[in-house]
A and B are shown apart, each in its own frame.
Chain A
């Protein structure tokens, strides 16, 4: 250990401000860059998941309406009226 005690280590023979400023800025800059990269990766993976869910929902809705369409052609007039009622509500 070069320094005698902790306060002289902090003081750096009067140059403490400059030395700690440099090391602090370096640490903060690298940390910010690292965190930014890390969180944007996580955000992107999350985005993929929500997109996947959305696609699944769209697909499900499409299937539902397709089956509804089929039954509608089977019993034409009655259900058509029902559906328009349902839509207005």
Chain B
């Protein structure tokens, strides 16, 4: 079952796979995100309750959705790495972490910017914003634990353990914060999600989620290559690669 993964435990192969996928993800992601943003900003109809401010949804929701999926992806990579001792898996984990942290940060900023016109304050201790904040801290914890170790092999394992502890905690945090929130604020907050969204609003939203996923994928691929390079700077294939890329850039 895991046979197909094994070739990609070889770093060189993974690097070239990333190289092959990278242009597809970047171009497609940029195109989709551009279409979705323009559609959402300029063509989607106005929301009758929140007027034009609801258009923040086209960045807030994709980033919020992705932040959680990126954390899960990171934890899965950590799990695979710890159980099957796959070196590239830890690299994938560390390539995902900064992307996830950035996306979580974006969802916090956009949440605050949406909160100001809707709640009248930049920061509300709303359940979702709060758990998003904790998620950001979890990401940063994993990254700083990894950075603290000199030996990257050890660092990968340590950060992996922490990522898994975090992912077990994530549902508990989510649930506890939600419960805490209802305890302290009752039903005074305005609900964002409506029972149904007209398709003219929904389509650009789905498209923007797809675009964000593709762009995050592209950045992940790039960072994955960086992780591989960083650890194999002295290997012959890296040297050959550097020579090739230098030659091609001189040829231009």
Interface residues of B in 170-225 (CB under 8 A from A): 215, 218-219, 222-223, 225
Question: Whole-angstrom distance from the CB of B37 to the nearest CB of chain A?
Answer: 7
Interface pair A1/B242, CB less than 8 Å apart: no
For chain A, the count of residues having a C-beta within 8 Å of the partner chain is: 32
> A22–B64 Cα gap in the complex (Å)?
13
Given A41-B229, A44-B226, A51-B234 in contact, is the A22-B116 Cβ separation under 8 Å?
A: no
B43, B99, B105, B223: which contacts A1 (Cβ < 8 A)?
A: B43
For chain B, the count of residues having a C-beta within 8 Å of the partner chain is: 44
Interface pair B106/A12, CB less than 8 Å apart: no
State the total of A-B contacts with C-beta under 8 angstroms: 109
- Determine the chain B residues whose CB is within 8 A of the CB of A29 once the complex forms: 102, 105-106, 109
Chain B residues with a Cβ under 8 A of chain A: 37, 41-46, 51-53, 55-56, 59-60, 63, 98-99, 102, 105-106, 109-110, 113-114, 116-117, 215, 218-219, 222-223, 225-226, 229-230, 233-234, 238-239, 241-243, 245-246
16 A/B residue pairs, CB under 8 Å, sorted by A: A2-B43, A15-B117, A18-B117, A22-B114, A25-B106, A25-B109, A29-B109, A30-B106, A34-B222, A37-B226, A41-B222, A48-B233, A48-B239, A48-B241, A49-B242, A49-B243
Chain A residues with a Cβ under 8 A of chain B: 1-3, 9, 12-15, 18-19, 21-23, 25-26, 29-30, 32-34, 37-38, 40-41, 44-49, 51-52
